[in-house]
Amino acid sequence: MSPPAIAVPSEADEFQKGVKHLFENGVRKLPNKYILPVSDRPNVDNENSNVAKSSIRLPVIDFAELRGPNRSRVLDSLSSACEEYGFFQVVNHGVAIDSIRSMIDVSGRFFGLPYEEREKYMSTDMTSPVRYGTSFNQMKDSVFCWRDFLKLVCNPLSDVLPRWPSSPTDFRGVAATYANETKWLFLKMTEAILECLGGGAAAPEDEEILKQFEDGSQLMVVNWFPPCPEPELTLGMPPHSDYGFLTLLLQDEVEGLQIQYKGKWITVEPLDNSFVVNVGDHLEIFSNGRYKSVLHRVFANPAKPRLSVASLHSLPFDCMVRPSPKLIDEENPRRYKDTDFATFLEYVSSCEPKKKNFLESRKLT
């Protein structure tokens, strides 16, 4: 009688388990699955490098000043940050420091759980309310990127909360508080942005869209980037823009985020107790191209793990996003088609999302 066959995990199976799993198993050399073609590598030391030599301190918006006598000056700064960089940092934002610290702490503890515990939330269903995974789109990526993630749909919170991880035991409570606080900040920042686009006055139609945002979509993505053995050959995240209206990013003190500015990749300096906020594709469409969603990426670190929590906000999933009628006239004809979340999901499910391809597909020629 022949001995029973032992199932040997294939290399592909191991990659599906994510980079935390590889790191915990002592990976010393970057597996081929993660090695980018030369043209896509971060090429930091190259003579013809497209990476800027210095880092950047993004425009800083003092949220507290938005509520005081300097509001119009802050609105001007906000508008020029959205036009020039597509990114800014918000300080004195009103989100409790305890909420921020607890969210970073509980996220770190989630990724510290044994693989078997994290694996319970693995899913290839893009519409699942909770999804643990790796890379960017692990079903489609030809080359994997060096990150694991936990994606949490946050609306309606009472429906999705029971599906969120039950371990660590305080995870749901901490993440729900944090989701509510970032939603509040998003609504306040959106109100200010609508005012900027309206030339400094809130219009009745702004009230209507703000109501829609109150019940809008919110996706929280907790990213974990373990130390990488050969960071020059891969990326934590490839160049991409965000599909929503605004993204509020919380990051720890480890550098990693880079934005494309004037054709160069520039590292964003982490600023303690701040949020990095960026214009998403939906805001570019809504502003009829006045504010641009900007390509950004994450580089891998050889020595330190990095954790970030991105909160992506937009209109409800079934709502159409279209250019604001007040931003269309003879001089500024309509530049984008109507779009909704279903169109986006269909697009990313059918191909490997690259750069700003989805937004390009929504442009009117």
Take residue 47 and report the two structure tokens written for it. Answer: 């003579």
Could you give the percent of the chain with pLDDT greater than 70? 92
Q: Buried (b) or exposed (e) across 192-223, using 16+ Cβ within 10 A?
A: bbbbbbeeeeeeeebeebeeebeebbbbbbbb
Instruction: Note the pTM of the prediction, 2 decimals.
Output: 0.92
Gap between the Cα atoms of 226 and 112, Å rounded: 11
342, pLDDT greater than 70: yes
Q: Name the β-bridge partners of 218.
A: 313
DSSP assignment string, 164-206: S---STTHHHHHHHHHHHHHHHHHHHHHHHHHHHTTSS--HHH
Whether the CB-CB separation of 109 and 168 falls below 8 Å is answered with: yes
Residues 6+ apart with CB under 8 A from 47: none
Whether the CB-CB separation of 189 and 210 falls below 8 Å is answered with: no
* Number of helices (H), then strands (E), in the chain: 12, 12
201, pLDDT greater than 80: no
Quote the distance between the C-alpha of residue 87 and its chain's center. 12
55, pLDDT greater than 90: no
36, pLDDT greater than 60: yes
Per-residue model confidence (pLDDT) at position 57: 84
Q: What is the DSSP letter of 147?
A: -
46, pLDDT greater than 70: no
Q: Name the β-bridge partners of 298.
A: 237, 257
Read off the pLDDT of each residue in 127-137 and give the average, rounded to a whole number: 87
Q: How many CB atoms lie under 10 A from the CB of residue 37?
A: 8
Per-residue model confidence (pLDDT) at position 317: 86
pLDDT bracket for residue 10 (50, 70, 90): low
Least-confidence region, from 32-41, 90-99, 298-307, 340-349: 340-349
In tens, the pLDDT along 275-299 reads: 999 999 999 999 999 999 999 999 9
Read off the pLDDT of each residue in 179-189 and give the average, rounded to a whole number: 98
Per-residue model confidence (pLDDT) at position 6: 43
Whether the CB-CB separation of 251 and 308 falls below 8 Å is answered with: yes
In tens, the pLDDT along 233-251 reads: 999 999 999 989 999 999 9
The single-letter code of the amino acid at 123 is: S
152, pLDDT greater than 60: yes
Could you give the domains of the chain?
52-315 (2.60.120.330)
Gap between the Cα atoms of 14 and 32, Å rounded: 13
Read off the pLDDT of each residue in 359-365 and give the average, rounded to a whole number: 84
What is residue 56's three-state secondary structure?
Answer: strand
114, pLDDT greater than 60: yes
